[in-house]
Amino acid sequence: MPHYLEWSRAYSHRLNAADGAPLQARAAEMGARLERELAQGILPFLSMPYRATLEKDLPPILEKVRTRKHMLVLGIGGSALGARAIQRAFAPGQDRPGHDGPCLWIADNVCAEEFEALLAGLDAADTSVVCISKSGGTIETLAQYFLVRQWLQADLGEGWREHMVVVTDAVSGYLRQEATSHGLASLEVPDHLGGRYSVLSAVGLLPAGFLGVDWRALLDGAAEVARPLLEAPRSLGSHPSYALACWARALELQEYSELILFCYVPQWAALGPWFAQLWAESLGKDGLGILPVAATGVTDQHSVNQMFLSGPRNKGCIFLTSRGQAEGRVFGQDLPQEWAWLRGKPLGSLLEAEALGTRMALCMNEVPLVHMDMDGTGPNAAGAFMLLLEAATLFTGWLMGVNPLDQPAVELGKRLANARLGAPGYVTEHADLDNFMAVPLQEQAF
């Protein structure tokens, strides 16, 4: 069966269909742009021209890394969020009692204590390290690479090379130089494939394959959603990703400032932070954009849902459910009389009822809502979900008039950090640091 977007309560309250109509009318213009940019090869997350090479190069590397129990991924942002979401969705045993299968560890922050704990607890001989950076120059990831290389060398000597895989640009950058000079196993991040759009490339699929996840099914699910866009880009107006883009842009034009992804597929909860980066880094530009808010059902019914229901009326919601989730154990017939209405029902019926109740409550409290209902929770469905949201993000950016493929504001903090550490070539940033640090502190103890 297909996946569905359900629209009956999407244009509601102060958002109405008339707000979306002018955006829908731009479908021909956007379709022509899609056709042009596909031909230019700058949308590889849609066209996946790298798939044939990946299917040739990935299996031999998987064969090697799967001889070891542990994989340590060095990466941040888009180099980590997708892999973590895939692990928690499709290899959750690692987080459960009694696990004895492969283990994926992701070093995605600068925390000396956590990093030391990881290295202290891992056996270098039984660990494959994957260093991921498209540019090959991400300072946080390179810092980890230098330290992990020392750690591997201390235990394995020259054998460290057999335990390191780099995922980076095919021809340029420091990590590509390292791969070439040391003979490291490597996979490429294709041109024009930014980190937040890269989960369905080697970036996410190498960790997925290590865990035994069906990575080809992830690609297949994505390809099914992308196919109409590739085969008939000028028919963009009928694609659900463009409908989502029009709705999201209409929300912003009506001064909605937050977009909730409320996930009632518990094992997919980590896709919320993945979506948050995708949306925020692509669309938060030039004073524009809607803040993405990731929420998990039913957990967040008991926390932030109070704000969703009774706070400012500035929120839209993508409400995610899935058919075919596990029903689980059945409540016995010996429940107390006040709970007799649960007798004979499976635990999964509680999730279904909670999802319906929350969805209704959001709609009754003036939250425009698109219900996304997936046919299953496997890798194929997840690939479809991710591709749909990537495409919707792209088209929303086009409708906003911003470039959804760059992230210029993020680079400023990186440049200032490099200047703070003494990197050469940052004259302006050094001056900015001096001015910033010269402002007298106004401290208040507590």
Looking at residue 52, its pLDDT comes to 97
Comma-separated ranges of CATH 3.40.50.10490 domains in the chain: 4-37+219-400, 67-92+100-211
Please state, in angstroms and rounded to a whole number, the distance separating the CA atoms of residues 102 and 380.
22
The CA dihedral of 354, 357, 358, 359, to the nearest 10 degrees, is 120
For residue 179, the model assigns a pLDDT of 96
Answer whether residue 352 shows pLDDT above 80.
yes
pLDDT over threshold 80, residue 47: yes
Q: Which among 113, 231, 302, 443 is annotated as catalytic?
A: 302
Number of Cα atoms under 13 Å in the Cβ half of residue 19: 20
Tens-place pLDDT, residues 123-143: 999 999 999 999 988 899 999
- Is 4-37+219-400 CATH 3.30.1360.40? no
56 included as an active-site residue: no
Candidates 386, 360, 331, 65; CA nearest to 197 is 386
pLDDT digit string (tens) for 325-351? 999 999 999 999 999 999 999 999 999
Give the pLDDT of residue 128: 98
What integer best gives the mean pLDDT of the chain? 96
Residues 6+ apart with CB under 8 A from 47: 38, 41, 226, 230
Mean pLDDT across 309-313? 97
pLDDT at 2 over 90: yes
pTM comes to 0.95
Active site (annotated) includes residue 3: no
Query: What percentage of residues in the chain have a pLDDT greater than 70?
Result: 100
From 116-125, 204-213, 403-412, the region with the lowest mean pLDDT = 403-412
pLDDT of residue 136: 85
How high is the pLDDT of residue 289? 97
Q: Are strands 369-375 and 315-323 parallel, antiparallel or unpaired?
A: parallel
Pairing relation of β-strands 4-6 and 369-375?
antiparallel
Q: Which range is least confidently modeled, 255-259, 326-330, 425-429? A: 425-429
Q: Comparing 90-94, 186-190, 406-410, which segment has the lowest mean pLDDT?
A: 406-410
Q: Which of 139, 94, 84, 140 is nearest to 115 (CA)?
A: 140
Catalytic site residue 99?
A: no
Confidence at 410, pLDDT banded by 50, 70, 90: confident
Name the active-site residue from 140, 281, 390, 429.
281
Q: What is the pLDDT of residue 407?
A: 85
213-241, pLDDT tens digit by residue? 999 999 999 999 999 999 999 999 999 99
| Fold topology of 67-92+100-211 | Rossmann fold (3.40.50)
User: What does the pLDDT read at residue 137?
Assistant: 85
